[in-house]
Structure 1
Amino acid sequence: MDVKAVLSAHPEWLAHLESVDGPDLVLPADPTPELLRLTVPHEDVGAVLAARPEPGGGQWWLAERCVRSLVSAMGSLDGPPFFPPLPELGPYFYVHVFLGALPHTLAYHRELGVAPQVSWATLADVGRAMAVHRKRYGRGGVHAPYWLMLHARGVLYALGRLQFNRDTLGGSVGEAVRASGTPAGPGSPSLGVHVPDFLGPLSPAACDASFALARQFFPRHFPGERVRVMTCGSWLLDDQLRAYLPANSNILAFQRRFRLLERFDDGDVLGFVYGEHDPGALPRRTRLERAIADHLASGGTWYGRVGWLPF
């Protein structure tokens, strides 16, 4: 396959890749141990191994430059262009990119003094993204490889039940924070809060523990960033859920932590809750599924919502 022809649909990204310098690509002869530590699903390991790029080939060239792109922005909040979907290169191309970036990410973590268990819990999102892809589409692949760029560049960290990424406040959220009297505003350092799939209940105790870890972790490892605010943008913050879920539900307990701001389009609630689904025949196996389906059946719309809370 002519990789350059595939990349002709992404001229700005190609120009970036051709301009970036960095390390040569090194892939383990047998990456099985690394794949398992990245929690690549067992059913995908053989296919990932079979899809290994050949040295000197077009996919090797592209994987090497993707790794260079990640390394060039290691630790920086100003990231390189997002990795686009490249289905022509097969479902596992980006797994090899993240394998190639792995030694550089771990080295950066070591420089910061990040504990190995935090490193591996963070990078396990590679396998989780593959499980999410199968949940959503019923086949192998890597869901949202652009998202995993944050992990590979040392910007996002898994701390217990939740994940947190280093960020800065945007305009409208920053203005709302400033109006509250909090000494922060647009452009101020912040943390994004994320709820990964396949990690069990979103219990208040688990969330308490994660927030406590974040309040220790980031001042220790990024002492130059004075974070005062954490933000979240998610369908989980849609206050319409209050009409359907009991007051003691984990989701509503999570909502109540945040000062809610603007809505945005549905936040892909069907993808997150159901995965692969028939929109005309949504299952109602749980209280949450019944809430989502009943609200849509009555003509309602689900939204994502932005919220913030003090650090």
Structure 2
Amino acid sequence: MELHRFFEGIRMMPEAVRQVGRLHIEERTYQRIKALFQRDKKKFYTTVLRQPDFRICFLYYFSRMGCETYERYQEDGIGERIYWDTFYDLTLWCENCFREYGAYGTDQYDWFFRHIECRLFRLGRLEFERMESEWALKYGRTEIKKGDTVINVHIPQGERLELAAVRASCEQAFSFWGKQYPYICHSWLLYPELSRVLGKESNILGFQKLFRIVQVDFAEREAEWRIYGKIQDDLELYQEATSLQKKAKEYLRDGGALGNGLGILDFSAG
């Protein structure tokens, strides 16, 4: 697949496409960097990070490799809709990069190996990644040990989290991956205390009910980043353009904390 066709398919921002076109990376350089990616991802990251325009360089390399991944989708009989939806992630993260840094490309460089190695697929509203569990979990008769195969559920940004779409997405995943593995999710959207910030009819709270939340943590400030687009040490710098932003800010002012929840999908829920 040609790079221009790939960018059209994932609806990449026009200015980002223009900047990629100005890079003039030689084919032998691309092949060397791709081989490094396949052999040693940490060295790949550090090599590209040395470039002054590393964000747009990452976008170029991931997009080129994404083009080549198309053949594997065809060989495995995976539909084009799934291909385009999955790699649309590059566009979403390019938008985030521009909003946060004023630069096109991606700063989330350690995320996209999943897409290129066909570990993660977007199936409707949600993304599903087959991986080895990073956690040891137990809920009822369900026990997961570290290293066990699980399906990790991710929630892409940009669309409402309507429960009908979520359930349809899960059904697609069950057909794609099966039900022999536990489905888990680690996200700010599963933090139980969001009930103090959101209304009872919130889609997010409905999403939580599909999972059995077994752990919470405060290792990241993902909720603040997702709600406000940027993490600030001074709460007063957070905007209050939406009701969620207003309520979250008030909650934080009152000493509340926003963390992450870790949940196991209840196949019978909903």
Q: For 2:117, which of 148, 153, 158 is the aligned residue? A: 153
Cα distance in 2, alignment partners of residues 195 and 32 from structure 1? 27
Counterpart mapping for 1:278-289 below 5 A: 279=234, 280-289=236-245
Cα distance in 2, alignment partners of residues 122 and 292 from structure 1? 30
Q: For 1:64, which of 4, 19, 31 is the aligned residue? A: 31
Q: Contact (CA 8 Å) 2:133, 2:145: kept in 1 or not?
A: yes
Cα distance in 2, alignment partners of residues 69 and 109 from structure 1? 23
1:137-162: CA deviation from partner (whole Å, max 9, x where unpaired): 33323031210110011000001111
Counterpart mapping for 1:138-149 below 5 A: 138-149=102-113
Please state how far the C-alpha of 1:80 moved relative to its aligned partner. 4.7
Counterpart of 1:268 in structure 2 is 222
Q: Contact (CA 8 Å) 1:137, 1:275: kept in 2 or not?
A: no
Give percent identity, aligned residues only: 24
Counterpart of 2:14 in structure 1 is 42
Counterpart mapping for 1:1-311 below 5 A: 31-55=3-27, 60=29, 63-69=30-36, 80-81=41-42, 83-84=45-46, 86=49, 88-90=51-53, 91-173=55-137, 176-177=138-139, 180-182=140-142, 185-198=145-158, 200-219=159-178, 227-264=180-217, 265-276=219-230, 279=234, 280-310=236-266
Unaligned runs of 5+ in 1: 1-26, 73-78, 220-225
Please state how far the C-alpha of 1:171 moved relative to its aligned partner. 4.1
Q: Contact (CA 8 Å) 2:221, 2:231: kept in 1 or not?
A: no
Cα distance in 2, alignment partners of residues 153 and 281 from structure 1? 40
Cα distance in 2, alignment partners of residues 116 and 70 from structure 1? 25
Please state how far the C-alpha of 1:32 moved relative to its aligned partner. 2.4
How large is the RMSD of aligned CA atoms in angstroms? 2.5
Please state how far the C-alpha of 1:105 moved relative to its aligned partner. 1.4
Q: Contact (CA 8 Å) 2:124, 2:169: kept in 1 or not?
A: yes
Cα distance in 2, alignment partners of residues 190 and 277 from structure 1? 30
CA separation of 1:51 and 1:309: change in aligned 2, threshold 3 A: same
Q: Contact (CA 8 Å) 1:121, 1:158: kept in 2 or not?
A: yes
Please state how far the C-alpha of 1:227 moved relative to its aligned partner. 3.2
Q: Contact (CA 8 Å) 2:86, 2:121: kept in 1 or not?
A: yes
Unaligned runs of 5+ in 2: none
